[in-house]
Amino acid sequence: MESLIIAPSILAANFAELGSEIDMLNASQAEWIHVDVMDGMFVPNISFGFPVLEAVNKRANKVLDVHLMIEKPERYLEAFAKAGAQVLTVHYETCPHLHRTVQQIKDLGCLAGVALNPSTPVHVLEDIISDLNLVLIMSVNPGFGGQKFIPNAIKKTKEVAELAASKGVTKLKIEIDGGVSISNAPDLIHAGANVLVAGNFVFSSPNPIDTIANLVKLGN
């Protein structure tokens, strides 16, 4: 398998010390930095937007993996790409014209991802999976960090891997987001996950750099 990518979510970072948190991630084995954008409409919480992403982009030397939990994300794709997003993931539940939205993301030169809420079945991706670079399985209901992992995500991971194989899609990133820790990561990897988001598990640990290294090791 391709090497496992760990994507710490800066939603769990200390925002008053964001620069040094990014420096820590730069020094770690994390390949991506996961950036959660919330609009208070699609999800009940509001996080941060362009000025923060731009500042993170200036400081970070990692891939910025932007997870848009916003309604009508097509309004802002170009602005997110300009602000530094290299991976842009939209929610299936927010995109009636998903095929067009995915093409727009690719035209901007970004990797295109689609996220599924815990209650959205995998089969809705049947006619779009061949166009995707990434599928994000939500293993909590989106909106907040620090929630409890929903184990059904393991089954859904396997279903995405099987759907991709059945369509001859070989390079798909399968990313899991929410409540990921060292205890559920092995099952997720076994099911086919190759990108793991981790917020609180990384930032609340005594030594985040070691925690990231321990997660990376699971993929070896």
Catalytic residue list contains 177: yes
Catalytic residue among 65, 177, 187, 210: 177
Would residue 65 show up in a list of annotated catalytic residues for this protein? no
Do the Cβ atoms of 153 and 117 come closer than 8 Å?
A: no
- 219 within 8 A of 186, measured Cβ to Cβ: no
Query: Near ligand DX5 by CB under 6 A, which window of 82-90, 94-102, 158-166, 193-201?
Result: 193-201
Residue 95 vs residues 69, 143, 201: alpha-carbon distances, Å: 11, 18, 30
Three-state DSSP at 104 gives: helix
Residue 123 C-alpha from the chain's centroid: 20
Q: Of residues 125-144, which lie at the interface with ligand DX5 (CB under 6 A)?
A: 140, 142-144
Query: For residues 124-183, which are near Zn ion according to CB under 5 A?
Result: 177
d(CA 123, CA 66): 24
Choices 42-50, 62-70, 100-108, 204-212; region in contact with Zn ion by CB under 5 A: 62-70
User: From residue 44 to residue 83, what is the string marking binding to ligand DX5 with x (rule CB under 6 A)?
Assistant: -----------------------x----------------
Considering beta carbons, is residue 109 or 149 the nearer one to ligand DX5? 149
